[in-house]
Structure formats: structure tokens, C-alpha cells
Amino acid sequence: MPALLASDMFWLTMAIGFVLVTVLAWRGDDREAF
């Protein structure tokens, strides 16, 4: 298994952050996040 590159870690963090923001905005729909 090859080691993760810095770019891979960056995109992985971006994907996780995007999912977290989407879930938080979806659950807390009483306030307009977007």
C-alpha cells in the first residue's frame, strides 16, 4: 500500500469537511447556512 501524498491528504480532508458541512447544514435547516 503506497504512502499517501500530501495532495491525497488534502483532498481527503476537503471531502470529509464537505460531508461534515453538508450534514450540519442538512440537520440544522432552521438557520440558513448557505
Cell of 32: 440558513
Cell of 31: 438557520
pLDDT of residue 34: 52
Residue 2 DSSP label: P
Q: pLDDT per residue over 1-34, tens digit each?
A: 566 688 888 999 999 999 999 988 888 766 665 5
Q: Which string of b and e fits 1-34 if b means at least 16 CB within 10 Å?
A: eeeeeeeeeeeeeeeeeeeeeeeeeeeeeeeeee
pLDDT of residue 25: 84
Q: How far apart are CA 25 and CA 1, in angstroms?
A: 35
Rounded to 5 degrees, φ, ψ at 28 are -95, 60
